[in-house]
Amino acid sequence: MCHWEMADFISYVVDIAPVFPSLDEPDINSSLPLLSYNPRCLKRDISVWTSSKWTRDIDSYDLIVQNPEIYWFQTIMQGNGFVDGFLGVHSGGLPIL
């Protein structure tokens, strides 16, 4: 059972496991086979590290202004965090929601 006590997520359990978890989370049992049942507590964690690098106002502004072609807009927005550590505004926003 979840012991996380935030107003939005008191005792909510998520019954979905990430395929390849990229963040070090104590609730995730990474030794289980791919797509195994691996419930964990739902929580919100606004990471200063993530939010200060990829989700600032200027990052969204630059994305729109500097990428008029849809291919580059989508590519930069999605990031390529698993290749060189650039998360982009979309992937950078996921861990802070």
* pTM for this entry: 0.55
What are phi and psi for residue 10, nearest 5 degrees? Answer: -65, 120
Average pLDDT over residues 17-33: 61
**Cα–Cα distance measured from residue 18 to residue 15, given in angstroms and rounded to the nearest whole number:** 10
Q: Are residues 21 and 68 in the same domain?
A: no
Per-residue tokens: 33:
């086979």
Range of the domain at 8: 1-44
Average pLDDT over residues 48-77: 91
Average pLDDT over the chain, rounded to an integer: 75
| 15 — pLDDT class (breaks 50, 70, 90) | low
Q: Are residues 5 and 37 in the same domain?
A: yes
Q: Are residues 56 and 12 in the same domain?
A: no
* List of E strands, the chain: 13-14, 40-41
* Amino acid making up residue 32: L
Q: Are residues 50 and 94 in the same domain?
A: yes
Per-residue tokens: 82:
């698993």
Q: Are residues 36 and 64 in the same domain?
A: no
